[in-house]
Amino acid sequence: MKRHHVLLLLILLLLPLLASCSPGHVGGNEIAFVRDGHLWTIDPDGANAYQVVSGADPVIGYAWSPDHHIFVFRTLDSTFAKSAAGKHLTFNPITGMPGDVPSTLNTVGIDGGTPIPIIFASSDISRSNAWWNASGNRVLYREEPLSSVQSPLGVSWWVSQNDQPSGIARKSLPSTFSIPSFSPNSSLAIGNSEQGVFTTTLAGTNIQYIIPSVLPGHPLPTSLERILWQPAHQNPAILYAIAVPSSQSKSFGSGALKVQLELRESDGHTSSLATCSCTQFAWSPDGNSVLYSTGSIYTVVNIHSGSAFTISGEAGSLPYWSPDSEFLLLDGLHTLVLAQIAHQSQQILLSDSSMTQEPGASSPALPGVDGLLQPASNSPWASDSRHFLFLTRSRLSWQGQRLHSGNGLYTVTLDNQGKVQGTPNLIDSGNDSQASWSYEDPNTSFLF
């Protein structure tokens, strides 16, 4: 603890000087990725690769701020890293990130400099990655004792200011079954409990129950246990799932749980959007559509017209909305699928030599109620919605033709109709993971 206090004092003394240190980039259109435990940025044309974070403790996750100027990043606790569990971490094969582990959370500007440790690691406390509110001044993360049995009621949720070191000004949110969601104006968080659905300030105060009773079937399997605020709306609705009565006796692990996706307007009016054997759901960035998955089928529902169309992909793919909500990428283990929403069309862009899963194949088992999942931290889309990136991960067939440049990090350009312009551009061929171009609103993200 004495060492932490000394470090905290040094950080407080250095804070006024950090803004003047600009050895790297200054925001804008940079791409980020993790390579060999370090956080890097690079220009979209592959120039000016810059190591933002290069400390001894490996970077295991990060998230862009909404303004594209700051990273919050997670480094593995050095003591835990020496343990058997720390030496054999399991990384998600699509996102490249591990789950909750003992770790330090830090923030740093895109131009590098001295990171600010917003909370120090403890070898007996596991911590999730952190994600931002839309204003970019708070981050939310989860903690739980390393030795405890996983349970949604056994974790604590914390909100920290992005510029305050060592837990200064961090606040605890009330206990909730689900991951709390930030409101679009960043002033409130929403969660649910045995007492019902509630809102709270980011300081964990002024709790208001907007649905004063437990939702039917809750807690649901982890990927469905969500209360999501509608993005980009002044009076946002909330989206959530409830178990339909006929399926209450079905096993959560069977993958066949039927739920209703409920839309509750700010005036309290509630309507049902869909009844499905859903595995995941999320908003579109403009808040006008809802995406849900049923195994390998992904359905987009317009909440105003009620119209819907389906996309065939791999079960377990991570969907990424373009910022303008016109396109959707489905990033799977074996394929990368691009869908154009207005034209209700799709195409397989990237694939490997494996047989891809056919639509209608059996759904993967739903995670239990105690699974500790987290939203995707970043987006592969550029802010203009006409460029995106991908990591090959041995998927080397691009629209039926081999990528002759081999494995690596590529960028792609689209026209307004979603037609690919030219061929993908290789910008880095290192041992890269977690590549991203922009901030991801957790309300629009699936969980992993």
pLDDT digits (tens, 9 = 90+) for 217-269: 999 999 999 999 999 999 999 999 999 976 444 444 454 699 999 999 999 99
- List Cβ<8 Å contacts ≥24 apart for 139-146: 139/63, 139/72, 139/105, 139/107, 140/173, 140/180, 140/182, 140/189, 141/105, 142/100, 142/179, 142/372, 142/374, 144/100, 144/372, 146/80, 146/102
pLDDT tens track for 302-338: 999 999 999 999 999 999 999 999 999 999 999 999 9
CA 126 to chain centre: 18
User: For residue 12, is pLDDT > 90?
Assistant: no
Find residue 41's DSSP bridge partners.
Answer: 32, 50
Q: Which of 215, 264, 223, 267 is nearest to 243 (CA)?
A: 215
Tell whether the model's pLDDT for residue 5 goes beyond 60: no
Residues 441, 448: Cα–Cα separation, whole Å: 15
Q: What's the pLDDT at 353?
A: 81
Provide the residue range defining the domain that includes 223.
2-444
CB 261 within 8 A of CB 279: no
pLDDT for res 55: 86
Mean pLDDT over residues 397-423, rounded?
95
Q: Is the pLDDT of residue 10 over 60?
A: no
Q: Which of 331, 328, 329, 332 is nearest to 342 (CA)?
A: 328
- Mean pLDDT across 273-283: 96
Q: What is the pLDDT of residue 154?
A: 78
- Write the single-letter amino acid at 282: A
On average, the pLDDT of the chain sits at 90
Domain count along the chain: 1
Q: Provide the CATH number for the domain around residue 353.
A: 2.130.10.10
Q: Which pLDDT belongs to residue 211?
A: 97
Q: What is the pLDDT of residues 52-105, one digit of tens each?
A: 998 899 999 999 999 999 999 999 999 999 999 999 999 999 999 999 999 999
Q: Between the ranges 120-124, 297-301, 413-417, where is the mean pLDDT highest?
A: 297-301
Closest C-alpha to 127, from 63, 188, 61, 191: 61
Q: Is the pLDDT of residue 14 over 50?
A: no
Rounded mean pLDDT, 128-151? 89
SS3 of 84, please? helix
Checking phi first, is residue 235 left (phi over 0); if not, alpha (psi -120 to 50) or beta?
beta
pLDDT band, very low/low/confident/very high, at 115 (cuts 50, 70, 90): very high
When mean pLDDT is compared across 146-150, 166-170, 272-276, 350-354, the lowest value belongs to 146-150
At a CB cut-off of 8 Å and minimum separation 6, what does 200 contact?
173, 174, 188, 189, 190, 191, 206, 207, 208
Residue 20 banded pLDDT, cuts 50, 70, 90: very low
Distance CA 330, CA 388 (A): 12
pLDDT-derived band at 415, boundaries 50, 70, 90:
very high
Q: Reply yes or no on whether the pLDDT at 212 is more than 60.
A: yes
Q: Are 282 and 181 in contact (CB under 8 A)?
A: no
**Side-chain half-sphere of 179: how many Cα atoms within 13 Å?**
28
Tokens 């009016």, residue located: 269
Q: What is the pTM of this model?
A: 0.91
Closest CA to 211 of 225, 196, 200, 226: 196
pLDDT, position 16: 43
Average of per-residue pLDDT across 419-440 = 96
Q: Which pLDDT band holds residue 127 (cuts at 50, 70, 90)?
A: very high
